[in-house]
A and B are shown apart, each in its own frame.
Chain A
Amino acid sequence: MRRALHLRAIAPYALLLPGLLWLVLFYVYPAFQMFLVSMWTGNLDAGFVQSWNWGIYPEAIAEYWPWLARSIVYGGLATILAFALGFPLAYAIAFRGGAYKNVLLFLVIAPFFTSFLLRTISWKIILADNGLLLGPLKDVGLLSEEFRLLATPAAVIAGITYNFLPFMTLPLYVALERMDKRLIEAAEDLYAGPWRPQGIIAGLVIGGVLGVVVGAVMGYGPVVVGIVGAVAGALVGTFLISQAFIRVTLPLALPGIFAGSLLTFIPAVGDFINAELLGNPQSLMIGNVIQARYLEVTDYPTASALSFVLMLAILIGLFFYARLLGTEELTGASV
């Protein structure tokens, strides 16, 4: 009996120890080491010394803030677009999937079974100036010969959106699937109808603002894209959004929205493959800078400083986001 009690007390720690030790040695300690390296001075040939050069942080941020800002804008836009694409998909699978539910879920995760790089290279083939997408459109005269998608910010954002769409869709699906569908019927029995006129106004504003931002970032004329966005938003707000959706479905989907947007935004901000393969020199992101500073010019201090800033920015954002949405069970939300 005594022995059993003793075993019970140390068993959890014995189970935890090897794995947690690995994470401490190769996750926690490296983050600290990276912080130390950011305040090194020197170069790879002559050697580095720990000079505690705090000044590297303001210097690096002053020099590279456009790349940092661009990463946050691209990552944010890709997250919003993935949500706009993924929510109706998750909704359709969870509520109307029927016999096709498993097939559809399988199609959502199927891209994961192909290399991330190969998928992005496929987009390069699809978006090429006379490729699978633009070639036919140009042949029938719908687009001018000069129009291009590859090597534009639009291609980078589209590529990021594509790559992380399953990360957005799956948590949304899980949240919607868990929801008690009878609650919607109950809301409708209690006279929840179309969401007017708020739906039209909300649609106009959200669609318009999003359109202006997308237009400005992608370089397609903010006014035109803004008007298109506002009209589309108003249509969606008028015909597709009901009171039951706003009052019941959306609040219950919040854990999924929380998990999905984190799983999309965090890798999107740090991504450099899409900018490298689908973008141009003016659409590079902070990941490209970090990668080049480390692996091409071996400027370890600056690269470490930028990398540390990126990590810190995400952790701070994460903290406020978690408080805002009141989600405490972080590991639970990301399942």
Chain B
Amino acid sequence: MAATSTTTSATAATATRRAPTARLGRLIDRWLLPIYVVGVTTYLILPVAVMILFSFNDPTGRSNLNWREFSLGAWLNPLGRPGLGDAVRNSLVVAFLSTLVATVLGTMIGLALARYAFRGRGATNILIFLPMSTPEIVLGASLLTTFVASVQLPLPEGLVFPLSIRTILIAHIMFNISYVVVTVKARLANFPRHLEEAAMDLGANEWTTFWKVTFPLILPGVIAAGLLAFSLSIDDYVITAFTSGQTQTFPLFIYGSQLRGIPVQVNVIGTIIFVTAVGLVLLTTLWQRRVAARDYTAGRA
């Protein structure tokens, strides 16, 4: 991997010793590494490209596994399959609500971890880390057993059993919290504390300081965490399969129709989700750059 770099100030002796390696190093730098990078990124993108391509397919029969001919049919009627509309709507509802709750709860934990010294810090870190290092199937399975066993507890009917969109939501908030904490914490690492102190010195109370100073500063991190949570939620199959009962979501719909043959509409919605996600990420990146540029000029002035 590590190609020997050319050194201009090498002595004559080392130059002769290094000459063949240096040539080889240039060869690797110029050709081998770029070819490799193109190869691996193609491998990464290929399935996405196939998904988009097959959204324009007009398959014979019900299964969309062989290319036949170009068609816009599915794009003109993207929800034209029984149950697909409901599944997509449920997915969006779960993703929005779980992102909202997990982002609020996770940001609070992230703030506490980044700004305060307190007892129980190590335990908190472990509790945040564990859900991310547990296989999804175990998370889903343990929630399912809990929901099933909850019939023995004096809980209101329908709260957690029978399984419904409510139990999916509980599960999604749970697995999203850790990811939000980690993202927000990373962005808070170099937080300028003196700005808060300045606000307090100028007479702002804690509440005003938070909303006028702290929050605008951590907002990019919070948005990044929210986007991550949303994309994790809308894509989740495994945990949802264990906590959904009769409720359908988009990934469950894909899996369910997988055995009978996947309708082209699934590829259309997959493509729409992909394009929207890419667009949102590009937009937030551009927005953050503008904010950074504005702060830079403000700082200079």
Contact = CB atoms under 8 A, between A and B. Distances in A.
Interface stretch (B17-25, B75-83, B190-198, B292-300): B17-25
A277 B258 contact: yes
B141 interface: yes
A108 B44 contact: yes
Contact of A11 (B46, B116, B173): B116
Interface in B251-286: 251, 254-255, 258, 262, 266-267, 270, 273-274, 277-278, 281
Interface string A131-148: 010000000000000000
Given A23-B127, A126-B46, A272-B137, A18 B144 contact: no
A273 interface: yes
Contact of B273 (A96, A115, A273): A115
B142 A34 contact: yes
Nearest to A262: B133
B202 interface: no
The listed residue with most A CB atoms (<10 A of its CB), out of B14, B24, B37, is B37
Nearest to A4: B206
A320 interface: no
B100 interface: no
B161 interface: no
Interface in B120-141: 124-139, 141
Contacts of A304: 141, 145
B36 A88 contact: yes
Q: How large is the interface on B (under 10, 10 to 19, 20 to 34, 35 or more residues)?
A: 35 or more
A241 B41 CA distance: 23
Interface stretch (A54-62, A181-189, A217-225): A181-189
Nearest to A36: B149
Given A30-B143, A88-B36, A111-B47, A266 B135 contact: yes
Contacts of A112: 231, 235
B36 A266 contact: no
A325 interface: no
A335 B135 contact: no
B28 A242 contact: no
Nearest to A286: B137
A295 B241 contact: yes
B50 A122 contact: yes
A179 to B, nearest CB: 11
B45 interface: yes
Contacts of B14: 191
A110 B50 contact: no
A266 B136 CA distance: 9
A125 B108 CA distance: 44
A262 B134 CA distance: 10
B174 A27 contact: yes
Interface string A94-115: 0010000000101110111111
Nearest to B254: A117
A149 to B, nearest CB: 14
Contacts of B50: 122, 125-126, 132
Contacts, number: 278
B145 A96 contact: no
A91 B145 CA distance: 44
A196 B99 CA distance: 53
A85 to B, nearest CB: 6
A112 B130 CA distance: 22
Contact of A33 (B111, B142, B255, B278): B142
B138 A270 contact: yes
A185 B3 CA distance: 11
A90 B134 CA distance: 25
B45 to A, nearest CB: 6
B12 interface: no
A311 interface: yes
Contact of A119 (B48, B130, B171): B48
A22 B105 contact: yes
A20 B113 CA distance: 12
Contacts of A116: 235, 237, 251
B219 interface: no
A128 B67 CA distance: 12
A1 interface: no
B251 A123 contact: no
A69 interface: no
Given A19-B105, A89-B36, A121 B254 contact: yes
Contacts of A185: 5, 7
Given A15-B108, A188-B5, 11 more contacts: A22-B177, A23-B177, A33-B149, A37-B145, A111-B47, A122-B46, A122-B47, A162-B44, A269-B135, A300-B148, A307-B141
14 contacts: A11-B116, A15-B112, A27-B127, A87-B1, A89-B36, A93-B37, A113-B273, A113-B281, A114-B270, A117-B258, A118-B270, A126-B47, A245-B2, A271-B135
Q: List the 4 shortest-distance A-B pairs measured between CB atoms, nearest first.
A: A270-B135, A245-B2, A122-B47, A30-B142
